[in-house]
Amino acid sequence: MPWLWLLLTGCRGRALLRTAAVWALLMAPWWLRNLVVTGQPFFALQAYAEHLKGTAELPGFAAYLRERPEWFGATLLRQPGVLLDKTGAGLVYFASRLDNWLPWGLLVAGGAAALARRPGGRSPSRPTLLLAGTLALLVVAYAPFSHDLRHLAVLLPAAAWELWLAIAERLSRSRPAAYPAARAAILAAAGAVVLLLTPARLPGWERARDAAVADAATLPAAVARCRDLPPGPVLTDSAALLWRAGRAGVWWPAGAGDLDSLRRRHPWLADSPFVRQDLK
């Protein structure tokens, strides 16, 4: 998306090359990490696991337990219907929850102000069209992979700024005699009312939050047990334990399968202890 913005805003020649050099410098540590861990510098979890997450083939988070990840293109050739169904569900998910991304009151007011024709018959605001197009592209891009509004959060600062400017411009034309500070106060008050009446929420983490609260009592003891173990990988049913204990290991939740068969398939896990978080 940033590259699309650069091209559409006229970034060319040396400016584009300088931007590319800075981008490559910033991304190099991540590419190196991917190369060391996965053997592929441009590895993306979405392209090898998350396109099947939550489907009938791999319900829930079973995609993260798959021992032989499958590339998105291979799945598309093998099971196009699965990906089409997930993409359709993703488009419905994002479209039906846009008011949780930005309140409808702000979307309608800001969009109307930005898209209204300017004095002299000028066309709608170019930044607004660019933001709307970017939002649509992000929805289409994430629909086959991950259904979560947090992926759209990157646009919130730019969207909020452009909506503020658009509404402020309309207000300055309708109330030219008012002081700028008064117009800003009116705009801020109106925005606060909208946020209070129609607050935006980013859903999707309620279940994880509730599970974390329920498990919080047993986590410290499990972390202590995990840290006291000899060096080496650890198997655990807790998604938080490895992070909190600073240990390398494999997440193996209840119902994932037989631990003995896992150890036979992967000899490097043969002596790995299994630490359950829920033990007192």
pLDDT of 74: 93
C-alpha to C-alpha distances, 4 to 10, 15, 129, 225, 275, nearest whole angstrom: 10, 14, 13, 50, 47
pLDDT of 75: 93
Edge-to-edge strand ranges of the sheet holding 249-251: 249-251, 234-236, 274-275
pLDDT of 4: 79
Contacts of 239 (CB under 8 A, 6+ apart): 251, 253
- Taking only the tens place, the pLDDT of each residue in 201-218 is 766 666 777 877 887 888
Domains of the chain, by residue range, sit at: 1-43, 79-197, 207-275
- pLDDT bin (cut points 50, 70, 90) of residue 125 is low
Alpha helix positions (H), 216-258: 219-228, 241-245
How many angstroms from the chain centroid is the CA of residue 184? 32
pLDDT of 261: 86
| Three-state secondary structure call for residue 278 | coil
pLDDT of 22: 93
- Taking only the tens place, the pLDDT of each residue in 238-266 is 878 898 899 999 988 877 778 888 888 88
- Number of Cβ within a 10 Å radius of residue 149: 18
Written as six digits, the tokens of 133 are 């197009």
- Taking only the tens place, the pLDDT of each residue in 137-188 is 999 999 999 988 888 888 888 887 877 777 777 777 777 766 777 777 877 8
Written as six digits, the tokens of 216 are 């919080």
- Whether residue 122 is predicted with pLDDT greater than 70 in this model: the reply is no
Q: How far apart are CA 152 and CA 90, in angstroms?
A: 13
- pLDDT bin (cut points 50, 70, 90) of residue 131 is confident
- Single out the residue of 70, 23, 27, 32 nearest to residue 51, CA to CA: 70
Mean per-residue pLDDT for 184-196? 78
- Taking only the tens place, the pLDDT of each residue in 32-84 is 999 998 888 999 888 888 999 888 888 877 888 887 888 999 999 999 999 99
Q: 18 near 29, Cβ under 8 Å?
A: no
Tell me what percent of the chain is helix, strand and coil, each rounded to the nearest 5. 65, 5, 35
pLDDT of 87: 95
- Residue 255: DSSP 8-state: T
pLDDT of 64: 81
């169904």: which residue's tokens?
85
- Residue 47: DSSP 8-state: I
* Angle between helical axes of 126-142 and 156-174 (0-180°, round to 10): 150
For 68, the enclosing helix (H) or strand (E) is none
pLDDT of 120: 53
Q: What's the maximum distance between 2 C-alpha atoms anywhere in the chain? A: 79
